[in-house]
Amino acid sequence: MSAAQPSAQNQSVLSFDELKSRLEPFQQTQLLRFWDSLDSNQQTHLSQQIAQVDFAQLKTLVEGNDKSVDFGELAARAAMPQAVASDGSGCDWTLEQAQQRGEEALRSGEIATVLVAGGQGTRLGFDQPKGMFPVGPVSERTLFQFFADRLIAAGEKYGVDVPLYLMTSEATHEDTRRYFEKNDYLGLKPEQVTIFQQGTMPAVDAATGDVLMADKGSLALSPDGHGGTLRALSRNGCMDEMRKNGRKHLFYFQVDNPLVGLCDPVFIGHHLLACSEMTTQVIRKRYPTEKVGNVVEIDGQTQIIEYSDLPDSAAEMTNSDGSLKLWAGNIAVHLFDLDFLERMLQLDASLPIHRASKKVPHVDAEGQQVKPDSPNATKFEQFIFDLLPHAKNTIVCEANPADAFAPVKNANGAATDTPELARQAICDLHRRWLRSCGVTVDDSVKVEINPRFAMDPAELSEKLGESGQTAAEQTISTDQYFC
């Protein structure tokens, strides 16, 4: 797909006539409506934006002539993919072997990470990039700080600097960049962090299919979805850099989950031992309509049916023993082989394009700003997980949601995925770790363990032993942050 891209410095500038003849066949000449009122910089900007849009593709999307999918029918014939359970069953190797293989890959610097943080956190009602949201129940650390601490801890443990590629969008880029700069890269080395911007797609008027204008001299563009990650990594030189530095696998995660098992050696080990090109972490859905993508196998290929596409009747299907048929929920943690990603880039895998109905502010035909209060536009996005059917030997690995998934998506007060619930999940998990070491912890006490103190219960037990007191002699009766 050729989406409009954020910077276009080296593009040649098309004249008014060239633009007009480009737009006419697609009935999009309204984009030149204000041309004469623009100064030459504005004309250049508009010309470059128009030059980067694939109007033929857009026309197909608007007219709905691209392949539409009957997700209910797909779900009815879905089987469950091969899954490695969190206790290690479901594969031909042991958990210890997976851990060892994953640790080897980490130690030899083969692992890089990519964090997708281009979303605007509208549901959360937070007007800064979501990664800047303070989620630490005791520390008030931000989501970004959670990830940085985990990378620092992994770096110390395995003796390598694990690189972080952080994808932003136009809406989140500057604030994110400034936040990292102002806060000393959160303890990471500046050269370890690459912040790059994703591409865009034009938003169209839902009724007419006209591309909307944000102002008289700019198209209304919106992020092209996390499916744009691969193109953005390539465009920004990150793929070449990873290759040059000997990275072989890319750990993908999203900005909203403070419990993400970032660089978990067992997950990495499963991927490597299975010779998988793309591995996905899943949880057993807690209820049928939980808002997570459904990982399924259809015609021998693993794929994800997004929750918003799945009819409730399909989500509620059960097996003969009453268990949920589509049980595997996507928590948006994937591990990719770089070779696979490069192959996908070369093939330009033409991922499917998903539509979303949104409120998009724009200027009308008279040049007046319009702020709609109901959805007026269609936005187009691609999803990274649509790469799954293209990958060989894919496996899914099951994680316990209490250990690995506490997403921050909705504002407090909502029934699910709120900051309050995420903080509670963090405390619950760390309370369990402490208790497994023999420490007495009051239920009402908030506890939070920074991975730089301990990454898992085994490390915690060692650290607690260093205090001179055995864990069994320790009692925690006030809120405590282990860091």
Query: Which residues lie near ligand UD1 (CB under 6 A)?
Result: 116-119, 167, 169, 198, 223, 225-226, 254-256, 292-293, 306, 329-332, 381, 383, 407, 409
Tell me the closest approach of the beta carbon of residue 405 to ligand UD1, in angstroms. Answer: 7
141 versus 431: smaller Cβ distance to ligand UD1:
141
Spatial separation of the C-alpha atoms in residues 4 and 222, rounded to whole Å:
10
Return the residue matching tokens 């943690």: 333
Tell me the closest approach of the beta carbon of residue 118 to ligand UD1, in angstroms. Answer: 3
106 versus 384: smaller Cβ distance to ligand UD1:
384
Q: Buried b / exposed e across 452-466, counting CB within 10 Å, b at 16+?
A: bbbbebebbbeebee
81 versus 217: smaller Cβ distance to ligand UD1:
81
Tell me the closest approach of the beta carbon of residue 120 to ligand UD1, in angstroms. Answer: 8
Tell me the closest approach of the beta carbon of residue 96 to ligand UD1, in angstroms. Answer: 29
**Of the candidates 341, 230, 251, the residue with the CA atom closest to the CA atom of residue 3:** 230
Contact in structure between 423 and 431 (CB atoms under 8 Å)? no
211 versus 255: smaller Cβ distance to ligand UD1:
255
14 versus 422: smaller Cβ distance to ligand UD1:
422
Tell me the closest approach of the beta carbon of residue 417 to ligand UD1, in angstroms. Answer: 8
Tell me the closest approach of the beta carbon of residue 84 to ligand UD1, in angstroms. Answer: 19
Tell me the closest approach of the beta carbon of residue 304 to ligand UD1, in angstroms. Answer: 6
Tell me the closest approach of the beta carbon of residue 254 to ligand UD1, in angstroms. Answer: 3
221 versus 454: smaller Cβ distance to ligand UD1:
221
What phi, psi does 326 have (nearest 5°)? Answer: -90, 85
CA dihedral 28→30→34→35, nearest 10 degrees, is: 30
137 versus 293: smaller Cβ distance to ligand UD1:
293
Spatial separation of the C-alpha atoms in residues 325 and 348, rounded to whole Å:
33
Contact in structure between 479 and 138 (CB atoms under 8 Å)? yes
387 versus 439: smaller Cβ distance to ligand UD1:
387
287 versus 468: smaller Cβ distance to ligand UD1:
287
Sign of the alpha-carbon dihedral angle for 218, 219, 220, 223: negative
Spatial separation of the C-alpha atoms in residues 428 and 422, rounded to whole Å:
10
163 versus 199: smaller Cβ distance to ligand UD1:
199
Contact in structure between 375 and 358 (CB atoms under 8 Å)? yes
Tell me the closest approach of the beta carbon of residue 307 to ligand UD1, in angstroms. Answer: 6
149 versus 381: smaller Cβ distance to ligand UD1:
381
Kind of pairing between the strands at 193-197 and 164-168: parallel
Spatial separation of the C-alpha atoms in residues 41 and 45, rounded to whole Å:
6
Q: Counting Cβ atoms within 10 Å, is residue 33 exposed (0-12), middle (13-18) or buried (19+)? A: middle
Tell me the closest approach of the beta carbon of residue 50 to ligand UD1, in angstroms. Answer: 21
256 versus 448: smaller Cβ distance to ligand UD1:
256
Contact in structure between 277 and 250 (CB atoms under 8 Å)? no
- Compute the C-alpha angle 389/296/165, nearest 5°: 55
The two tokens of residue 140 are: 């008030």
- CA distances, 259 to each of 135, 136, 432 (Å): 11, 11, 14
Tell me the closest approach of the beta carbon of residue 131 to ligand UD1, in angstroms. Answer: 8
**Of the candidates 444, 482, 440, 443, the residue with the CA atom closest to the CA atom of residue 460:** 482
Tell me the closest approach of the beta carbon of residue 270 to ligand UD1, in angstroms. Answer: 20
